[in-house]
């Protein structure tokens, strides 16, 4: 597909702001910080360059759909929504308050969220239903489903995989946030996933690998990946859990984080290049 040229300063500034939002939600109850940081660049890129989703098109029948299947990375989506005018940035302050609906997993009361998730392995099937309806109506819009790599453990993902091929859903694109971690462990140490591309290819998908933090690489892949596709496509985006914040990056014990306010302030400084934070808050094992 034809993509507009990269505006690197805009994308990097936006990604930085989204990461700040994620860190600001990582206190007073916390959130899944590591998984949110890993897919930040991917979401920033998709909403700026690929998806036709804007505040004025969120209910348009011809809009693209983005489904966040792993779900616990929703702080990245909400942070992005605040930056692109989908929601009032003030709403992020309501994280985990009973007076709003900003909690650990996505829900449809937030504009731009297409469907709730949190139970892994669901939204590829839901995306298939949406893609089928778009086909039935002769639409050209597309369905993007973001899966976690750990989520690939779920059998329902693979059940849906070959249904998508059987129904020739060339309008369905899976993005895998390949951060190499699941809740408590490195994926390759628990349930080895590699090679992921070969598995999808064996099912009949187009498969692409890309650096999920490299905007130029993402731009190159999406410029070619969706052109002339006759089958569903998977883009495996290699990422770092906790990306952008070295003191929690690639740490198995920093998946769900509930930092002190001081730690959050220090981690935000770290985002902007300051030295690493000494973390004293308790590590969380929530799964």
Q: Do the strands 143-148 and 181-182 form a parallel or antiparallel pair, or are they unpaired?
A: unpaired
249 exposed, middle or buried (CB, 10 Å; 0-12, 13-18, 19+)? middle
* Binding region for other proteins (CB under 8 A) out of 90-98, 120-128, 179-187, 240-248: 120-128
Q: Which residue, 125 or 268, has its beta carbon nearer to other proteins?
A: 125
Site string for other proteins, 121-140 (x = CB under 8 A): xxxxxxxxxxxxxxxxx---
228 exposed, middle or buried (CB, 10 Å; 0-12, 13-18, 19+)? exposed
Residues touching other proteins, count (CB under 8 A): 30
> For residues 31 and 257, is the Cβ–Cβ distance under 8 A?
yes
How far apart CA 203 and CA 200 sit, in angstroms, is 5
Beta strand residue intervals within the chain, DSSP E: 65-68, 143-148, 172-178, 181-182, 185-186, 206-211, 233-238
Q: Give one DSSP letter per residue of 7-26, joined into a string.
A: -HHHHHHHHHHHHHHHHHTS
- In three-state secondary structure terms, 216 is helix
Q: Which residue, 62 or 224, has its beta carbon nearer to other proteins?
A: 62
DSSP 47: I
CB of 134 to other proteins, least distance (A): 7
Q: Which residue, 30 or 127, has its beta carbon nearer to other proteins?
A: 127
According to the binding rule CB under 8 A, does residue 66 interact with other proteins?
no
Residues 156-195 that bind other proteins (CB under 8 A): 156, 159-160, 162-163, 166-167
CB of 133 to other proteins, least distance (A): 4
Angle at 265 between CA 261 and CA 270, to 5 degrees: 140
Binding other proteins (rule: CB under 8 A), the pick from 12, 62, 119, 269 is: 119
Angle at 191 between CA 127 and CA 70, to 5 degrees: 30
CB of 122 to other proteins, least distance (A): 6
CB of 161 to other proteins, least distance (A): 9
Q: Which residue, 80 or 160, has its beta carbon nearer to other proteins?
A: 160
Q: Which residue, 131 or 245, has its beta carbon nearer to other proteins?
A: 131
How far apart CA 238 and CA 213 sit, in angstroms, is 8
* Binding region for other proteins (CB under 8 A) out of 34-42, 80-88, 154-162, 191-199: 154-162
CB of 116 to other proteins, least distance (A): 6
Site string for other proteins, 212-231 (x = CB under 8 A): --------------------
Site string for other proteins, 87-116 (x = CB under 8 A): ---------------------x-----xxx
**DSSP tally for the chain: helices H, then strands E:** 10, 7
Alpha helices by DSSP H, 26-111 = 33-38, 40-45, 74-83
CB of 71 to other proteins, least distance (A): 11
Give residues in contact with other proteins (CB under 8 A): 61, 108, 114-116, 119, 121-137, 156, 159-160, 162-163, 166-167
């Amino acid at each position: 597909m034809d993509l507009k040229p990269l505006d690197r300063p805009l994308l990097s500034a936006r990604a930085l702001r989204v990461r700040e939002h994620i860190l600001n939600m990582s206190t007073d109850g916390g959130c899944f910080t590591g998984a949110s940081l890993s897919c930040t660049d991917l979401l920033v890129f998709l909403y700026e360059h690929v998806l036709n989703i804007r505040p004025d098109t969120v209910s348009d029948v011809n809009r693209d759909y983005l489904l966040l299947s792993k779900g616990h990375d929703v702080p990245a989506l909400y942070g992005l929504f605040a930056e692109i005018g989908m929601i009032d940035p003030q709403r992020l302050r309501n994280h985990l308050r009973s007076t709003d609906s900003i909690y650990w997993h996505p829900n449809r009361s937030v504009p731009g969220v297409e469907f709730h998730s949190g139970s892994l392995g669901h939204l590829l099937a839901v995306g298939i239903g949406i893609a089928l309806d778009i086909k039935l109506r002769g639409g050209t819009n597309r369905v993007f489903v973001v899966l976690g790599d750990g989520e690939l453990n779920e059998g329902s993902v693979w059940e849906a995989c070959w249904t998508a091929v059987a129904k020739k859903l060339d309008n369905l694109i899976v993005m895998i946030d390949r951060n190499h971690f699941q809740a408590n462990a490195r994926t390759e140490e628990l349930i080895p996933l590699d090679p992921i591309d070969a598995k999808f290819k064996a099912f009949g998908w187009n498969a692409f690998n890309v650096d999920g933090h490299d905007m130029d690489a993402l731009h190159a892949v999406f410029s070619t990946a969706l052109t002339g596709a006759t089958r569903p496509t998977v883009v495996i985006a290699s990422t770092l859990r906790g990306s952008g914040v070295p003191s929690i990056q690639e740490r198995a014990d920093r998946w769900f984080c509930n930092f002190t306010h001081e730690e959050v302030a220090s981690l935000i400084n770290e985002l902007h290049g300051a030295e690493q934070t000494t973390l004293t808050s308790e590590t969380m094992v929530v799964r």
